[in-house]
Amino acid sequence: MVKDILAPGLRVVFCGINPGLSSANTGFPFAHPANRFWKVIHLAGFTDRQLKPEEAEKLLDFRCGVTKLVDRPTVQATEVKLHELRSGGRSLIEKIEDYQPAALAVLGKQAFEQGFSQRGIAWGKQKIVIGATTVWVLPNPSGLNRIKTEKTGRGLSRAG
């Protein structure tokens, strides 16, 4: 089980779709070696060095957190069912209402659209807010996603 890393007063919470098998096996978020999350958040200036998945708790030192839409691990995020994303969207809203970070960065356009019942959204800052929390949709840093790391980093830096 990959646990959330959340606390009040965070500047950003990064929300993945669901754990991959590497994360499920280690218990650490974004654990697969091909996943660029740790590199991207460092390049975007959220951390002063590139953390390792097993250092995930140190995100709190940088006022960052991590959660996910769906707890169930899969090989690919495309295996996650629509009803799981919708339920995960409702749960995510409750978490964000409880913790009220400055920003929520959902990592994946399709997951955001399905989890929040939105259509045709653009990358970046969204019109919806959760309490005082701004919502951003950014590219998923998974190694299965082909978008360039630099583009992802630029998007993430605008979220914080």
3-state secondary structure 93-128: HHHHHHHCCCEEEEECHHHHHHHCCCCCCCCEEEEE
- What is this structure's pTM? 0.90
Between CA 112 and CA 58 the distance in angstroms is 26
- The per-residue pLDDT for 144 is 52
- pLDDT confidence of residue 158: 62
Are the beta carbons of 47 and 59 closer than 8 angstroms?
Answer: yes
Q: Which amino acid, 157?
A: S
Collect all residues with Cβ–Cβ distance below 8 Å to 92 and sequence separation of at least 6: 15, 67, 69, 104, 115
Residue 17's SS3 state is coil
Type of residue found at 138: L
Domains of the chain, earliest start first: 12-159 (3.40.470.10)
Do strands 124-130 and 103-107 pair parallel, antiparallel, or not at all (unpaired)? unpaired
Instruction: Return d(Cα 2, Cα 25) in angstroms, integer.
Output: 9
Q: What is the pLDDT of residue 96?
A: 98
Q: What is the pLDDT of residue 82?
A: 92
Which helix (H) or strand (E) element contains residue 149?
helix 149-159
pLDDT tens for the 160 residues of the chain, in order: 899 999 999 999 999 999 889 999 999 999 999 889 999 999 999 999 999 999 999 999 999 999 999 999 888 888 989 999 999 999 999 999 999 999 999 999 999 999 999 999 999 999 999 999 999 999 988 655 555 545 555 555 665 5
- pLDDT value, residue 81: 94
CA diameter of the chain? 38
